[in-house]
Amino acid sequence: MAKVDIIQIAKELNISKSTVSRAFRDSSDINPKTKERILKLAKELNYQPNYYASNLKEQKSKTIAVVLPELANNYFTQIIQGAERVAKEQGYHILIFVTDDDITKEREFIRSLASGRVDGVIMSASGESTDHSYLESINYEHLPIVLFDRIYDDIELPKIVTDDYQSSFMATEHLIQSGCQRIAYFVINKDLSIGKTRLQGYEDALKKYKIPLRKRLIVDCSNSYEENNVIIETAIEKQKPDGILASVERLAFSTYYVCQRIGVKIPEDIKIIAFSSLEIAGLLQPGLSVVRQPAIQIGEKAASTLLKQLSGEELLDDEMFVTMQSDLVIRDSSKG
């Protein structure tokens, strides 16, 4: 079976292709009978309108791009879940782009998306807070973008974030109240907007309790699992922290493994709390205290904000910057 197109159907029915075309569009007036004949034959022939021809004509793709730094992270896969759900409801589809934390790829992706391939983008940024000037040249009329989580502060785009500063402050405060004095902050890239904000919360909490800030306790980790094991083990042995705030979920997991291996007990020797949206954090040994970000809802919100723009509506002021509430869930890993 060769691909069937509108013309073939037209020929077979001895009508013009415009009539056939009309049969598939709801509104147009067309004789119900001919319409039926057309639809019947179309079904028989297994006709599918050519996606690219339609889109070329319509200048719409009903597709949105989700640009993420990585996939090996619960948080981002939950984002996809949320975004996919909302998108599907409105007949949109999801195209995934993973930058591997590489701003160059991010730029290439966004550039190429300006080709009209997608109707809009939701993105969690990969770059440091600088070096995103490339976004200046994007025409947001043609390609609306919504940022979430890892945002670029100084770009005027709708943003969905969590109350990172507040959460970080509270988590640190909680560790202090559990008796910690040497609290380490584990982060992957402290120059990213998100690492920075959380760092600020951490620092301010220390300040409030008059605990000196020690630079050595701010531990810059890497994206490599193996490297992190070394970095974290070294940090624990050299800096002897009695509390850890992990700004990324998997740094907490690595810490668990390291502690298991070197015989450090959680929470007796070290208490730990992490930013994480893992549902089963409570099943860990010991149960992991977390700042639980509402990842799925963030994904939903980002998508629905984008879709609202795509539908032509103006965003209200309070939709331009949305803060979602995280929960502080205390479990055994940080008990005093």
Partner DNA sequence: TTGTACGCGTTATCAC
Partner DNA sequence: GTGATAACGCGTACAA
- How far is the C-alpha of 326 from the C-alpha of 334, rounded, in Å? 18
- Binding to a copy of itself, residues 281-310 (CB under 8 A): 282-287
Residue 207 C-beta: closest distance to a copy of itself, Å: 33
- How far is the C-alpha of 103 from the C-alpha of 66, rounded, in Å? 15
- Binding residues (CB under 7 A) for DNA: these are 3, 5-7, 14-19, 21-22, 24-25, 28-31, 33-35, 47-50, 53-54, 56-59
The end-to-end CA distance of the chain, in Å, is 71
Q: Which does 17 bind (CB under 5 to 8 A by kind): a copy of itself, DNA, none?
A: DNA
Residue 40 C-beta: closest distance to DNA, Å: 14
Asked if the bond preceding 267 is cis, omega within 30° of 0, the reply is yes
Q: Which member of 55, 178, 200, 229 binds a copy of itself (CB under 8 A)? A: 55
- Binding to a copy of itself, residues 61-100 (CB under 8 A): 61, 63, 71-72, 77, 80-81, 84, 88, 93-98
Q: Which does 6 bind (CB under 5 to 8 A by kind): a copy of itself, DNA, none?
A: DNA
Length of the chain (residues): 336
Q: Which does 112 bind (CB under 5 to 8 A by kind): a copy of itself, DNA, none?
A: a copy of itself
Task: Using the rule CB under 8 A, give the single segment among 109-117, 124-132, 199-207, 230-238 that binds a copy of itself.
Answer: 109-117
Residue 57 C-beta: closest distance to DNA, Å: 4
Strand partners, 328: 291
SS3 (DSSP) at 200: helix
Of 138 and 206, CB closest to a copy of itself = 138
- How far is the C-alpha of 45 from the C-alpha of 285, rounded, in Å? 59
Give the residue among 225, 85, 79, 98 at the shortest CA–CA distance from 160: 79
Q: Which member of 92, 185, 202, 256 binds a copy of itself (CB under 8 A)? A: 256
Task: With beta carbons less than 8 A apart as the criterion, state whether 333 and 284 touch.
Answer: yes
Q: In the stretch 215-254, what mask flags binding to a copy of itself with x, by CB under 8 A?
A: --------------------------------------x-
Which amino acid makes up residue 194? I
Residue 138 C-beta: closest distance to a copy of itself, Å: 9
Q: Which does 216 bind (CB under 5 to 8 A by kind): a copy of itself, DNA, none?
A: none
Give the residue among 164, 159, 158 at the shortest CA–CA distance from 196: 164
Task: Using the rule CB under 8 A, give the single segment among 108-116, 155-163, 233-241, 315-323 that binds a copy of itself.
Answer: 108-116
User: Is residue 14 a contact residue for a copy of itself (CB under 8 A)?
Assistant: no
DSSP for 63-122, written as a single string: EEEEEES-SSSHHHHHHHHHHHHHHHHTT-EEEEEE-TT-HHHHHHHHHHHTTTTSSEEE
- How far is the C-alpha of 333 from the C-alpha of 282, rounded, in Å? 10
Asked if the bond preceding 286 is cis, omega within 30° of 0, the reply is yes
DSSP for 139-150, written as a single string: -TTTS-EEEESS
- How far is the C-alpha of 209 from the C-alpha of 283, rounded, in Å? 32
- Binding to a copy of itself, residues 133-152 (CB under 8 A): 137, 139, 142
Residue 110 C-beta: closest distance to DNA, Å: 17
Of 49 and 179, CB closest to a copy of itself = 49
The site for a copy of itself (CB under 8 A) is made up of: 1, 3, 46, 48-53, 55-56, 61, 63, 71-72, 77, 80-81, 84, 88, 93-98, 111-112, 114-117, 137, 139, 142, 253, 256-257, 279-280, 282-287
